[in-house]
Chain A
């Protein structure tokens, strides 16, 4: 038992090169910027977050004790102030200046806004929030950042556990979403018709759903693939784990197959890009794809960068 615990402790205390964490900070930061800019440019921020006396729609709640609105009223000035500080936090996180502090700033402001707008909140907001917390924990400014340039030192090894938590979080999102698809339309009992019904939902589907009946068999296949792709996404982290040490055990060898990760990520990209085309889910598909780089190995990020920017030192 003691040996098992020691192995567990060792696993969570391994170190790695910082390229991957730096890369996912940039892609996630860009998705975060897109999210707040969408709100500032395409909606009325006051309508979403302010008190009705200040131009808001719903009186809302102040949220938890960690929300700014537990201490300040949701006036126009405070709402704009929080939104601008959030924008600043997102920008600083993207360029990697005071990366942890920027992530904390972006988290506190987003959490405060999300607490106010419980009537509008949807799953993309939760994706942003859970990953922001992981960026607070992660030394993501160690590479590809102003922090690293400022320090002027070569990228050192960093703890691997924050990135592993990101991989676990991504897996949790997909697997839980797949497991909860227990309704009859997600199974043979109602003919794998879930996507057909989803594409007939006014407000979520981009167009009236009349066209779906013409491609009904395709929607059935997509329903089956989406559900089982989500449930089995656990294969991706398991594959990464078993690739570390060669084994003669058949199941381990199958799981260690190098093709799992590109296969699952390819299907994931296809699924999210299709969702952008046929459904209006806000920035949900964007933020999900923005965290995919956490599945790359640091040397893969380095190789990609050298291919794109050959002048980059190795």
Chain B
């Protein structure tokens, strides 16, 4: 490369680099399907945002109408943003620089989910708890932070293949620990806890009992 061409090429490359990252970093909703929108945490958050926009006069005071209006805006933005993201990805993907930086954004969950793994040993009728992801349990102590990330991803509906693979993994672990009593089925489910607001805890209100969600049985 001649020394005359090098300076503008460096500037062009840097500009392209920033442009691709900038496009990729424009905020976007991770999922807009009906199931996600019906999740309590998502529903609550949308409700709060709608209320805020209504208070500042950006949305109609009629609640249902405002909700629809907000989702329409987000979907319109998505229609524009997605093709641009695909273009930026052509540069960012091969160099491993696809980036979003969503740490604890928009809001940390108020209803965290923890995993439960139950095993049904051969020639038995019921499931027995093998792993409990709640604090202070043996399951909690054995989890590496990467396992927790995988469980977080499994705790959202879908990912049937990954759930099956995860269930089979725990069956293998059970079988190694119980050689004479191999597993015949594995049930993975999630316990939805509820973090009470600090004020509720200070007022001595009793905690909300957890709910069992998304039970998924794999027969081996």
A contact residues vs B (CB 8 Å cutoff): 5, 8-10, 12-13, 42-43, 47-48, 52, 57-59, 64-66, 107, 110-111, 114, 117, 119-123, 126, 129-130, 132-133, 159, 161, 165, 168-169, 172-173, 176-177, 179-186, 189-191, 193-194, 196-198, 200-204, 207-209, 212-213, 216, 280-282
CB interface residues, B 69-107, toward A, < 8 Å: 93-107
Residue contact A130 to B165, C-beta cutoff 8 Å? no
B152 interface residue per 8 A CB criterion: yes
Whether the Cβ atoms of A189 and B48 lie closer than 8 Å is yes
Contact B25 A114 (CB under 8 A): no
Asked if B216 is an interface residue, CB under 8 A from chain A, the answer is no
CA–CA, A197 and B109, complex, Å: 7
A172 engages B107 (CB within 8 Å)? no
Contacting pair A182 B145 (CB below 8 A): no
- The residues of B that contact A58 with a CB separation of less than 8 Å are 150, 162, 165-166
- A177 contacts B103, CB within 8 Å? yes
Complex Cα distance, B146 from A13, in Å, reads 41
8 more contacts with CB within 8 A, not counting A177-B103, A208-B135, are A111-B96, A114-B96, A123-B103, A126-B99, A130-B96, A161-B14, A197-B110, A204-B145
Pair B101/A176 contact, Cβ less than 8 Å: yes
Q: Evaluate contact between B149 and A119: CB separation under 8 angstroms.
A: yes
A13-B11, A130-B96, A282-B145 known; A197 vs B107 contact (CB < 8 Å): yes
Q: Which residues of B pack against A, CB within 8 Å?
A: 6-8, 10-11, 14, 17-18, 21, 25, 27, 45, 48-49, 52, 93-110, 112, 114, 133-136, 140, 143-154, 161-162, 165-166, 168-169, 193, 195, 197-198, 201-202
Neighbouring A residues of B143 by C-beta, 8 Å: 203
**Known A59-B165, A173-B101, A190-B48; contact A10-B7, beta-carbon cutoff 8 A:** yes
Contact B152 A203 (CB under 8 A): yes
B14 nearest CB across to chain A (Å): 5
Asked if A122 and B146 sit within 8 Å, CB to CB, the answer is yes
Query: With A122-B146, A203-B151 given, is the CB distance from A9 to B94 under 8 Å?
Result: no
Which A residues are in CB contact (< 8 Å) with B104?
177, 181, 194, 198
Is B52 in contact with A189, judged by CB distance below 8 angstroms? yes
Task: Report the separation of the CA atoms of residues A67 and B176 in the bound assembly, to the nearest whole angstrom.
Answer: 33
Closest chain A CB from B45 CB (angstroms): 6
Tell me, rounded to whole Å, the shortest Cβ–Cβ distance linking A197 to chain B: 4
Contact of A197 among B27, B48, B98, B195 (CB under 8 A): B195
B149 close to A120 (CB less than 8 A): yes
CB distance from A187 to the nearest CB of B (A): 9
Q: Give CA–CA (A9, B96) in the complex, Å.
A: 27
Complex Cα–Cα for A201 and B110 (A): 8
Q: Contact check, A129 vs B93: say whether CB atoms are below 8 A apart.
A: no
Q: How many A-B residue pairs have CB under 8 A?
A: 184
Q: Which residues of A contact B97 (CB under 8 A)?
A: 129-130, 133
Q: Is the CB of A177 within 8 A of B101?
A: yes
A64–B91 Cα gap in the complex (Å)? 12
* Given A181-B106, A203-B145, CB of A119 within 8 Å of CB of B162: yes
CA distance A200 to B96 in the complex (A): 32
The docked-state distance in angstroms from the alpha carbon of A48 to that of B146 is 9
| Pairs A–B under 8 Å by Cβ, sample size 19 | A42-B144, A58-B162, A64-B94, A66-B96, A173-B99, A176-B101, A177-B103, A179-B27, A184-B52, A197-B108, A197-B195, A202-B114, A203-B133, A204-B145, A212-B198, A213-B198, A216-B198, A216-B202, A282-B145
Roughly how many angstroms separate A159 CA and B10 CA in the complex, as a whole number? 10
Contacts of A111 in B (CB 8 A): 95-96
10 closest cross-chain pairs (CB), A and B: A183-B107, A180-B105, A183-B106, A203-B148, A129-B96, A111-B96, A120-B146, A66-B94, A197-B108, A198-B108
* Known interface pairs A64-B93, A65-B94, A130-B97; A13-B7 also in contact (CB < 8 Å): yes
CA distance A159 to B11 in the complex (A): 12
- Would A184 and B45 be within 8 Å (CB), given that A64-B94, A202-B134 are in contact? yes
Residue of A nearest to B17 (CB): A165
Q: Which residue of B lies closest to A209 (CB)?
A: B195
B7 contacts across to A, CB distance below 8 A: 9-10, 12-13
CB distance from A236 to the nearest CB of B (A): 17
Contact assessment for A12 and B107 in the assembled complex, using a CB-CB cutoff below 8 Å:
no
Cβ–Cβ contact A181 & B105, under 8 A: yes
Asked if residues A200 and B95 are in contact (CB atoms below 8 Å), the reply is: no
Which residues from chain B contact A189 at a C-beta distance below 8 Å? 48, 52
List A contacts of B103 (CB < 8 A).
Answer: 123, 177, 180
Given the contacts A161-B14, A197-B109, A133 and B95 also touching, CB distance less than 8 Å: yes
With A58-B165, A64-B93 known to touch, is A177 a contact of B105 (CB < 8 Å)? yes
Q: Which residues of B contact A180 (CB under 8 A)?
A: 27, 101-103, 105-106
